[in-house]
Amino acid sequence: MLDIAFAKPALPKSGALALLIHEGEKPSGLWAQLDEATGGAIARAFDVAEFKGAKGKSCLILAPGANLTRVLAVGLGKPAELTQKILEEAGGAVASNLSKETNVAVANSALTAQQAAEVALGAVLRGYRFDRYRTKEKPEDKSKLAKVTVLTSEHTKAKAAWEPLDATAKGVFLTRDLVSEPPNVLDPPEMAERCRKLSELGLKVEILGPKEMGKLGFGALLGVSQGSVKEPRMVIMHWNGVSGNGRKSKEKPVVFVGKGVTFDTGGISIKPAGGMEDMKWDMAGAGTVIGLMAALAGRKAKVDAIGLVGLVENMPSGNAQRPGDVVTSYSGQTIEVINTDAEGRLVLADVLWYAQQKFDPKFMVDLATLTGAIIIGLGHEYGGLFSNDDALSQKLTAAGQVTGERLWRMPLDEAYDKQIRSDIADMKNVGGRPGGSITAAQFVQRFVNGKPWAHLDIAGMAWSTKDAAVTPKGATAFGVRLLDRLVADNYES
């Protein structure tokens, strides 16, 4: 993780400098000083590149003089339209364009403390790398960037503003690490043990194995796991940010639930071989919940929050669940399993029922890489949002707009229920191709028991095949910042 610092504005004596420039802005401060020190090289480079500070545009100048190796100008667009997202993306541009530098200073004459921290967050998020298993990477292919110093007159306040963002970034990195791990390393028991380590942050962590879940009656979740030699786990993480230290809270806890299929072959309804390696990230919903809980604990959020993850591996074997099996969920409702590759909703069924029965939450949000159908509908631009609560939906959507982790609300309607009617059980686990993500959400809703609830289908958002502004190619940790913002803006006392 990048080392972040804040300091008074001053031209660096060496290394690289990034200038954040508004559209139409006139040279001033360090920009003007640097142009003078380089004999007008900065102004000439901007003219040649036709750089005018438009949002998302940049101009890289090599060895301009003044002992600097590189100068990067990043456009912020019009001052009146400046947002947190734009500042973060500017920080991301700094990290991606100056990755061959060791130390980088970032300057804009008008950065407030909060804005400086947001630029730093973008740089940190974009600078992430998962290279644990690289043994022969060439030095020239590695990022050298180790430290970013954001220059602002409010540098002392900026350090304080950075602390909660730093905790959130660490939660994002935890999620990205988990989602990136190969499935032979990260199986359900190992993932549960990594959750246990979060007790170091002040989380209370409980882990249930197959015996405990069997006694409870988790027939849906255990049915998914029965084909694998890797035992399932359910992990319950408590953050008592209000009721800790003997204090009591009148508020009900907020609850987050994640689907954690550490590898999904499809089971007996086996997937095609092509692309099956991607199914290591079918636990991204659980990974997001784990990163979120780490973020809340890391920044000492003033909220009582509970994260639950159901961890299974879906494998074919002589003992695997079959199409046609009927299982009894923890709720007592019976499910005819038509397709063993529609397993995530079976995991959520038991964990969600446990969550609302055990904790009587203010609301529940579940996250799951649940359906390919949501990718057909929304591509890789929005996560699908399904909810029985308009107010919660609006808050989630607003948090997504601020963080850039955008959601699009999809319908829930009794008309879709007929697609999951079973001839021999209370329901079946698939409803056919039409409205596949909707019928999946309708299925999940049957285990919510009327509690305020939102279901986020993040199948199109958990992994990226290309670099983005603040997210390098690979695991995105979509949902950590979204839900952290939801809590910060609406539910902290």
Q: Which residues are catalytic?
A: 271, 345
Q: Contacts by 411-417 with C-beta closer than 8 Å and gap 24+?
A: 411/386, 411/438, 412/386, 412/387, 412/388, 412/438, 412/441, 412/442, 412/445, 413/438, 413/442, 416/442, 417/442
Strand partners, 239: 305
User: Which residues make Cβ contacts (< 8 Å) with residue 144, sequence separation at least 6?
Assistant: 99, 100, 101, 102
Q: Kind and range of the H or E element at 401?
A: helix 390-403
Helix axes 113-126, 84-97, angle to 10 degrees: 50
Please give the Cα distance from 144 to 197 (Å, whole number): 30
User: Which of 427, 444, 266 is CA-nearest to residue 342?
Assistant: 266
DSSP codes joined into one string, 255-298: EEEEEEEEEE--TTSPPPSTTGGGGGGTTHHHHHHHHHHHHHHH
Q: Which one-letter amino acid corresponds to residue 174?
A: L
Structure tokens given for 120 = 């730093």
- 284-298 vs 155-180: helix axis angle to the nearest 10? 150
Q: What is the DSSP letter of 191?
A: H
Q: Tell me the two tokens of residue 114.
A: 């909060």
The continuous run of DSSP H or E covering 224 comes out as: helix 219-225
443-to-355, 404, 429 alpha-carbon distances in Å = 17, 29, 7
For residue 40, give the nearest of 9, 21, 64, 57 by alpha carbon: 64
- C-alpha 313/C-alpha 348 separation (Å) is 14
Angle between the N-to-C axes of helices 480-490 and 284-298, in degrees from 0 to 180, rounded to the nearest 10 = 40
Sequence letter at residue 462: A
